[in-house]
Structures are given as C-alpha cells and as structure tokens.
Structure 1
C-alpha cells in the first residue's frame, strides 16, 4: 500500500513538473484603477542586458520620442519620459487609436447590440455613401474594421456621403481609409448612446484610462497619458480581461489580431500583424513580400499611428511596449524603418 501511495505521489509530481511553466492569466499584474501605483519588475530580475538600456533610450531620444514604456506581464520594467513630457502629459494616439474602435465594436457585439457581419446600412440606414444601393449593401461592419470596404481612399478623410464613393466591390480591395470611423456611428446607433458615453462606460472607465476624443479636421483623435495607452495594451495582452472581468470577448480579439481578409495578410481588425508572408501599406496597392517588421517577434501585433505612435503586443515575450512622440523620421506613414531599428535595439535589451 505504501509503495502504491509513493508511486502515486511521484507520478503527480512528475506530471506537475512536466506541465508548461509559462505564467497563467492569473499571474498578469493589473494596476489599480484611480491610482498612480503600478508595480515594477527589474531588468536584472528578468535577466535582460542592463547595459543595452541606455543605447535604447539614446536612440529613442534621437528619434523625437516623448515617452516609452515596457511592460512585462503587466509590470513596468522601463518607463522613461523625454524633454518636458511627463507621466501626466497627454499626447495623441493618431491611428493607433483605431484599435479602440475595434475593442468597443467587440463589446457592442458581445452585448448583442450589433453583428459585425451585418451590413452597415442595417444600422446607419441607406445613403451613407455615394455608391449605388446594391454596392452600398455589400459593405459590412467587418469590412470597415478590415479596411476592405471598396470605397475610394484617394478622396481624403471626409466621411460624408458625397466623399464615400465606390471604387470596388466590398471585400475585393484593401485600402487604408478613414471610413472605419463609421463604426463609431454604428455603435452609437446600436446602443442608443453617444460614442463618447458608450466608450467611457464600457472601456475607458473599467480599465482606469484617462483621456478624451478630440475632433481634428475630419478626424476623431484620442489623446491620453502614456500609462493610459499602456493600460489599453495590457488589457489586449490579457485577452480582453481586466483583473477578473472580461472587458472584450477573447474570441473576438483572436479574430481581430488574425488576418481579416485575403489581400493584406498583415492586417486584422484595425490591428497590424507581424510575421506574415506579405503586407500592404497605407496609400498603396503594392504588395510587399516578407514580414512587416522583420526584427520584431512573429507573433507581435501592433497599433500604429501617424508620427510613430506605437502599441506593440508580444504574447510570446509577455511584453506590451508603448512609444509616443513626434515622427521619428519625418514621414507621415504609420510604419517606417524606425520600427525595425527600434526592435533591433529592444532585442539587444531583452535577449
């Protein structure tokens, strides 16, 4: 009998030791809401290369960075502010904020208010574009989130019906276009609330973010502190959870961070995806072969905005990385060589 019990004990120990020792979701740290407290983890504890931190920070400063944060499983490992920018200074997310619309659209869908596979005109009525009724009715909410609505992207950011003109059938052409913002109107109509109110109630407040939406020309742009951007990135990394509360459905987020159409492999629902065989860039119909950011991990996905606003999420490395600032290389594209060189320097730090 004792031999049987001993064997059973050793078997259980063996099985326990054989399991994947990666942290469970419960190990992810979430900073408390309404507080400046945020736990940290040291570079030494992680076994990273301390002597590679300063070269990374020097490069960031050289490239017009205002703030930079690295989270490891939710805890701050690196947090640095440049020039007069501080932890309380707000800054705009630019197109990195598109992913906020993705998240809130997912919340509205899980609440049964909308279905992203339904046509947009089910919520906004017909005539929201200048396309014929037959062509307009091809455009689904998912097309807006995937940037393949088929509407002409060469006419500027104005999303009035007169400026939303047919270029191709929905689903047949990928083009980076401000028409995604119509999803905010869909959410407002479906919820019976203003976009701001629904966003604040369902996303901003539950995860302790600060910030506001501001109308700049024809664009609605979100601005916040760097830590608020990090809170959002952390919630996404945690598969839609904040502490024990599921903010955004995990299955929806999996779809949002997976190739959403068969034209631009590197695009999900307003998220950029690394490690794919090819990609397209804004303002171009050219397909480029290879990975979006070769130096970054293949499983990384990112929110990328004008002037190099960045949220990098890397599940395999347990990382969320935030960069805010002015344009690194004087270009208006969301993606530049800056991403690849920055990841070269991040890799020297973390590997």
Structure 2
C-alpha cells in the first residue's frame, strides 16, 4: 500500500464505522471437524440445506463477488466445503498470490521454529542475523526483538520507505515497542528462521508447514517482499489449521500457546493486531500508514471473534472460531484500489450474514 491510498481508506472508514455491529450468536460446534486428505482433490462438502442456511441468499452473495473482481471464494464449516466458486476464468487448479495475507504464514513458521527450539521471539533480531541489518545505532537496533517484528512495533520509519527492507531504508523513528506502524520489515523474520534453523526459508516452510497440511504453492520475490502463491484450496487448508488452533487432525503443527498469543491483541497500541493477524471485535484499532486510532470493530458487520489475514487487492482469510467457519476470497481489488482492508469487507459480511440470519 502506498501513502496516497490512506486518504481513500480513511474516507471509507467513515462509511464502515457507521454500520451496525451485528454481533453473532455464538454457536458451539457439535460436529467433529473434518480434514481433507493430504493428497488428491477429495474434500467433503456440506449442503446449505443441512446447515439450515438460506438458499435464496447464495446467489446475491455470488453475484456481488463476481461484480467485485473476485477470482475465487470458499466457505468451510467444520472443515467441509459449503460454498466453492470460481470467477473470471479462474479455477480450482489456478494459482494466485496471497499478498500480505501471507504475513500470517511467516508468523506461523516463526512460532514453529520457536517450539522446535531454534529461536526465541523475545530475543533481539541481531542475535540471529547479526548487527547492522538496519541503519539504526547499535543501541537502538538491539532493542528490536523478533516479537517487535511480529507485532509491527519495531519503531522503524514507515513513511515513504515502509515497503523497503534494505539496510539504508531501515531508519529510526521511535524506540521499539513504543509505536505501532505497518512495515515490510517483518520479512526479516524469514531470515531469522533460516539462520536459526540452518535451512533455506522455503525448505523449512515446506517441511514444517506446507507438506504437513497438504498445501501446494511456492514463494517468490516481489520487489522488497516475499510473496506466496497457491490454489484457493491451499489457502483454505491453512485457514482450517488455524481454525483448529494449530492442529491438523491429531498432529500439532503449531502449539496452542503460540496460536493464542498470535490471535489476540499483541500490544496495547493497536488492539486489532496480533502476530501479523488482524483481529475483529476489539474496542479500537489502527490501520496501515496511519497513527490514528479508530474506535470499534474493524469490520462491524462481521463476527466479533473473527481473526483475519488481509492482503493487497483484497486477498482474505477470515477465521471465525464461534462458528468453526473459514472464509477465503482471492482476486483483484474489489474497488480498484490496492487496500488490504476496504468497504468491501463490510458489505461482503452483510452478504455472508444473510445466509444464516
């Protein structure tokens, strides 16, 4: 996201914030969560009728998704596919980029590396990748821990050069832990994991996460960022893992303590942010490239317990624990603006709510 887009975003927030908060009635899942096989295309489905949802609300939802430049959309309930649609020539075998929704993959792998004893998120970044990885004086650089990168509280300058992660661009703005600001410097965690595990990032990712839950896809370099691409079902597999608190069937991929920390407020500046996950239903939140605090929930029409992976051009993973539900959206920007969060989220959830309210 560039600085100029924040003005459009702030205008949209006025519209979003005035929407009525439709708090969802918590539903305790009684059905055992289903996990698709690690190989092949088999994936059990569940009908709209069996859930007691409204069939007449499905087509308006799909029409809106198609209108808003979507390429794919999936709803899982208890792990089973309830809705799966593809638009504009996209298919179940097509790959698409996750953009910043993939930040949550980095957060997850950092947690896996910690549970395997390769690193400690409370340790300073320079313990793993050496000093002078930034342009900060050593005493300031040594304040920055892995956890600061996970929580976007590194203190590094984010205006104009917040996308750049080369040494010259990583300059001082505030002491680590005192300021929340969205910054691509989180990718340094990939270097930390690689150095700590003595493996390449891709190899460690593939063996510890991708292959354990049957995902496909690969990382590629895009400018200053490392971007993941995969099929929509692979994104849904990751959402299902997180909906099950880091377990795939009986296998612990990510320990629950780290999962809980990652999906709850990680600091007291931006309550709507965990470890690279966005959190709905908090009392207040901040947005990328803004120091303004907004009161209320990020997406008022969505469930309050929802946590989210949000990426450029409206790549979405929504996880709703109270409903054991995962929602995936991939595609181009819904409203021709490069925002991870926009008015699209609020309207989309109004359409999803219509399925079961």
- TM-score greater than 0.5 by the shorter chain: yes
- 1:112 is aligned to 117
- 2:231 is aligned to 225
- 1:345 is aligned to 351
Aligned-partner SS, 1:222? strand
Q: Report if the CA contact (8 A) 2:163-2:184 is conserved.
A: yes
Aligned-partner SS, 1:78? strand
Q: Report if the CA contact (8 A) 1:240-1:253 is conserved.
A: yes
- 1:8 is aligned to none
Q: Does 2:328 match 1:316?
A: no
Q: Does 2:333 match 1:327?
A: yes
| Aligned pairs (5 A) from 1:223-302 | 223-302=229-308
Q: Report if the CA contact (8 A) 1:102-1:270 is conserved.
A: yes
- Which deviations, in whole Å up to 9, do the C-alpha atoms of 1:30-82 show, x marking residues without a partner? 00011100000000000001100000000000000000000001000000000
* Cα distance, 1:222 vs structure 2: 0.3
Displacement over 6 Å in runs of 4+? none
* Cα distance, 1:334 vs structure 2: 0.8
- 1:100 is aligned to 105
Q: Report if the CA contact (8 A) 2:28-2:323 is conserved.
A: no
- 2:168 is aligned to 162
RMSD (Å), alpha carbons: 1.2
- 1:66 is aligned to 71
Q: Does 2:191 match 1:185?
A: yes
Aligned-partner SS, 1:32? coil
Q: Report if the CA contact (8 A) 1:278-1:287 is conserved.
A: yes
Structure 1: unaligned runs, 5 residues or longer: 1-19
- 1:56 is aligned to 61
Aligned-partner SS, 2:181? coil
Aligned-partner SS, 1:45? helix
1:194 & 1:350 partners in 2: Cα distance? 45
Structure 2: unaligned runs, 5 residues or longer: 1-25
What's the TM-score once normalised by structure 2's chain length?
Answer: 0.91
Match of 1:208 among 201, 210, 214: 214
If asked which structure has higher relative contact order (CA below 8 Å, sep 6+), I would say 2
What's the TM-score once normalised by structure 1's chain length?
Answer: 0.93
Match of 1:86 among 88, 91, 97: 91
Q: Report if the CA contact (8 A) 1:282-1:333 is conserved.
A: no
1:333 & 1:78 partners in 2: Cα distance? 25
User: Highest CA radius of gyration, 1 or 2?
Assistant: 1
2:356 & 2:253 partners in 1: Cα distance? 30
